[in-house]
């Protein structure tokens, strides 16, 4: 049996420093992808978030243009089945039928039941309501993230590249919007446009959600426009448009992607707050925030009406934050693999061997 010598992850440079062999010969995109895939928290978050999206959007009837997906769950948010009277303590009705405790632990076994999340005040299946609310909240998150990301990137890029009077005007507008609390802007928008549907509400909220991103992009452009590769592009006769989109923007994509993920996690919390205050998604449609607001008086008697919407809100927001954290570490050029004590000892041995 022939044993091959393991290729070292680090080697000693001529100046005595330790060089990382993991990224040697890789392009910038490959390095970013490799670092992101090595982030365990981000990978778990992607798996959980993808599972939630597939689970939520496949449960109920979904119509996209001429295509209609029936959904695998038997109830809709309009159905009014009979109250489940059995299995409830203290004389309550409509309690959850889902059980995750096996029989050998004294439970009733792992089962989904007729109404896994219980029923609301009028008997509607709460599982169907939570699935529809999660659909609407995810839709709001994506729309606000896309619109806010595009507007913030454009405004920040123009302001940071051209500077001067253009920078002053755009940044004063941005400062004015920042001074107004987002909850007040969202309340006004929700009051006037909440009855138009969740897509219109998300669209108008996205028009005011770009301010923080624009300032970050502006600062990045102010730094990158003074770099040598930008001067070389100007000398070569490149137009301002080409310099922005071909040279500076690809180098700023890291901070943009990370900021958009943070914007999306804040969007679902903003929608939840607005719906809780009554300025978000309005009846007959539902969202996770509106479900919590609608059944807040039932917290002491039927707490499951709070558990499941709150669990989805927290899980989605945490997943997006973990993904953003992984992207930040992947795009940060200063992030390197932590050099352990064993690595340093191996490097000293290799250095003495070279001498």
pLDDT, tens digit, 9 for 90 and up, residues 91-146: 677 777 777 666 666 666 667 778 888 888 788 888 899 999 999 889 989 999 99
Rounded distance between C-alpha atoms, residue 154 and residue 230, angstroms: 19
Closest CA to 127 of 141, 114, 139: 114
Q: How much is the pLDDT for 12?
A: 47
Backbone dihedral angles phi then psi of residue 185, each to the nearest 5 degrees: -60, -45
Task: Categorize the per-residue pLDDT at 15 as very low, low, confident or very high, splitting at 50, 70 and 90.
Answer: very low
Q: What is the pTM of this model?
A: 0.80
Q: Dump pLDDT digits (tens) for 61-92.
A: 877 767 777 888 888 888 877 776 665 666 67
Rounded distance between C-alpha atoms, residue 91 and residue 86, angstroms: 9
Rounded distance between C-alpha atoms, residue 102 and residue 109, angstroms: 4
Q: Which domains does the chain have, with CATH numbers?
A: 37-80+132-331 (1.10.3720.10), 82-118 (no CATH)
Task: Categorize the per-residue pLDDT at 343 as very low, low, confident or very high, splitting at 50, 70 and 90.
Answer: low
Q: Dump pLDDT digits (tens) for 150-180.
A: 999 999 999 999 988 999 999 999 999 888 8
Q: How much is the pLDDT for 148?
A: 92
CB 133 within 8 A of CB 286: yes
pLDDT tops 70 at residue 51 = yes
The alpha carbon dihedral of 217, 218, 221, 226 has a sign of negative
Count CB-CB contacts under 10 A for residue 1: 2
* Separation of CA 270 from chain center: 13
β-sheet bridge partners, residue 20: 10
Q: DSSP per residue over 64-100, as a string?
A: ETTEEE--S-S--TT--PPP--TT-STT--S----B-
Rounded distance between C-alpha atoms, residue 289 and residue 18, angstroms: 52
pLDDT tops 80 at residue 347 = no
Rounded distance between C-alpha atoms, residue 145 and residue 233, angstroms: 32
Mean pLDDT of 202-213: 89
Task: Please list the alpha-helical segments (H only) found in the chain.
Answer: 28-37, 40-59, 126-162, 164-179, 182-193, 198-206, 211-224, 228-235, 240-242, 249-277, 288-294, 304-331, 341-354
């Amino acid at each position: 049996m022939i044993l091959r010598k393991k290729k070292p992850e680090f080697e000693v440079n001529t100046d005595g420093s330790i060089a990382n062999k993991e990224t040697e010969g890789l392009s910038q995109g490959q390095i970013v992808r490799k670092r992101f895939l090595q982030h365990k928290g981000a990978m778990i978050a992607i798996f959980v978030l993808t599972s939630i999206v597939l689970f939520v959007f496949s449960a109920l009837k979904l119509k996209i243009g001429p295509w209609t997906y029936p959904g695998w769950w038997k109830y809709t948010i309009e159905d009014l089945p009979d109250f489940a009277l059995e299995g409830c303590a203290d004389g309550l009705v409509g309690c959850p039928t889902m059980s995750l405790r096996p029989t050998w632990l004294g439970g009733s076994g792992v089962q989904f039941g007729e109404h896994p999340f219980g029923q609301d005040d009028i008997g509607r299946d709460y599982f169907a309501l939570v699935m529809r609310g999660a659909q609407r909240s995810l839709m709001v998150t994506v729309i606000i993230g896309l619109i806010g990301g595009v507007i913030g990137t454009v405004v920040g890029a123009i302001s940071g590249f051209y500077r001067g009077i253009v920078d002053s005007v755009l940044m004063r507008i941005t400062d004015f919007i920042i001074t107004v609390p987002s909850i007040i802007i969202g309340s006004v928008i929700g009051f006037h446009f909440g009855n138009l549907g969740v897509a219109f509400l998300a669209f108008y909220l996205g028009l005011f959600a770009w301010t923080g991103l624009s300032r970050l992009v502006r600062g990045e452009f102010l730094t990158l426009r003074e770099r040598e590769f930008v001067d070389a592009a100007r000398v070569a006769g490149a137009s301002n448009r080409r310099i922005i989109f071909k040279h500076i923007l690809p180098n700023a994509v890291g901070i943009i992607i990370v900021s958009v993920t943070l914007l999306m996690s804040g969007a679902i919390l903003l929608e939840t707050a607005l719906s809780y205050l009554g300025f978000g998604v309005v009846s007959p449609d539902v969202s996770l925030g509106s479900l919590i607001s609608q059944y807040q008086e039932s917290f002491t008697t039927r707490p499951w009406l709070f558990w499941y919407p709150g669990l989805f809100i927290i899980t989605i927001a945490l997943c997006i934050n973990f993904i953003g954290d992984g992207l930040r570490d992947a795009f940060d050029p200063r992030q390197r693999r932590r050099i352990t004590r064993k690595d340093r000892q191996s490097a000293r041995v290799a250095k003495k061997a070279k001498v």
